[in-house]
Amino acid sequence: MIQTLDTEIIDSGAFRAALYDGQVFIIKSTPESRALVHDARAIVASAFGAAQQDLPHIHMEQSADELWQNLNDARAVIAASEFSKRHITNMIAPLFNDHACYDVLRLRCSPHNGHTNPAAARSYSAHRDTWFANPDAQINFWVPLFDVSEAQSFAFSPSYFNQATANNSADFDYTIWRDSTGFQNAKASNSAVYPSLTTPVHDPKRFAFNCTAGDILVFSAAHLHQPQNNNSGRTRFSIDFRLVDLDDAANGQGAPNVDNESKGNAQSDYLRLKP
């Protein structure tokens, strides 16, 4: 299940080790995460031409095509390297040393009833992030821009953290992906490989979560997880990024690899927190 933390993390090595062992944490909002939410909300509201308080109901005002175009505009601003580095550096300073690399901030959107759109089907599939050629030592950070209910979140299948599943990660080649598709590419080909389960799984321990704006969900990239079918009546906006502690990676520390057969190394394109 999820462990909630509302105190400072003293031993960052032990914290990372717990993540590599499958623990999921929610760190209650910090001044740094609230600053990220403040800046990101302003960017999203500007891109959508809406007041910030109206964003959770933007699906009632804009068509799916309009929402998609405005989302891509906001994503481009949020992913900008300096914006990403500033906020990521501030957020993780209490948790990690600066000998780490990161992927840029990514804006996510889960519209009310978005799962009914056939074009979005791949976004709702169960997967491990490691199937996209991400390293075993990768740690994911996820921050909601508004309060999130279980219906708007995503669900973990913890029983499969150490158990292999049938999946198509062997078909994923990072070099091909990077050159032809890329993450959050508005012009990505429909033929692009998005690794996912090839046989459904059932986990009686499956769980989703709720949290408030600015809380920081932290989990290993090796966790099998899947977005919920959002029928909450509210559109969810969130920010996430990925971090790899370079010392841990060099020393072979990280989550177990039970079924990842992807090719390549996405970490090669990550950015250093410090040169």
Tell me what the mean pLDDT of segment 5-14 comes to: 87
Q: How many structural domains compose the chain?
A: 1
pLDDT tens readout for residues 223-272: 999 999 999 999 999 999 999 999 999 999 999 999 999 999 999 999 98
pLDDT tens readout for residues 96-105: 667 899 999 9
User: What sign does the dihedral 232-23-172-169 (CA atoms) show?
Assistant: negative
CA atoms within 13 A on the CB side of 111: 20
Q: Which domain holds residue 224?
A: 2-272
What per-residue confidence (pLDDT) applies to 19?
97
pLDDT tens readout for residues 13-70: 999 999 999 999 999 999 999 999 999 999 999 999 999 999 999 999 999 999 999 9
Q: How far apart are CA 108 and CA 165, in angstroms?
A: 26
What per-residue confidence (pLDDT) applies to 119?
81
pLDDT tens readout for residues 124-134: 999 999 999 99
Tokens 């929402």 belong to 67
Q: Please give the model's pTM, rounded to 2 decimal places.
A: 0.94
pLDDT tens readout for residues 178-237: 888 766 555 555 568 899 999 999 999 999 999 999 999 999 999 999 999 999 999 999
Q: How many Å is the maximal CA-CA distance in the chain?
A: 51
Q: What's the CATH number where 266 sits?
A: 2.60.120.620
pLDDT tens readout for residues 143-168: 999 999 999 999 999 999 999 999 99
What per-residue confidence (pLDDT) applies to 118?
86
Q: How far apart are CA 30 and CA 8, in angstroms?
A: 10
Contacts for 87 with CB less than 8 Å, ≥ 6 apart:
32, 35, 36, 39, 105
Contacts for 200 with CB less than 8 Å, ≥ 6 apart:
none
- In b/e form, how buried is each residue of 196-216, taking b as 16+ CB within 10 angstroms? bbeeebebeebebbebebbbb
What per-residue confidence (pLDDT) applies to 179?
86
CA-closest candidate to residue 36, choices 142, 132, 121: 142
Evaluate if residue 10 carries a pLDDT over 90: no
Structure tokens at 112: 């009310």
Q: What is the dihedral of CA 5, 8, 10, 12, to 10 degrees?
A: 60
Spacing of C-alpha 233 from chain mean position: 22
What per-residue confidence (pLDDT) applies to 117?
86
Answer with the residue of higher pLDDT: 69 or 121: 69
Q: Please give the full DSSP string across 220-267, using - where no structure is assigned.
A: ETTS-EEE----SSS-EEEEEEEEEEHHHHHTT-S---SS---BS-GG
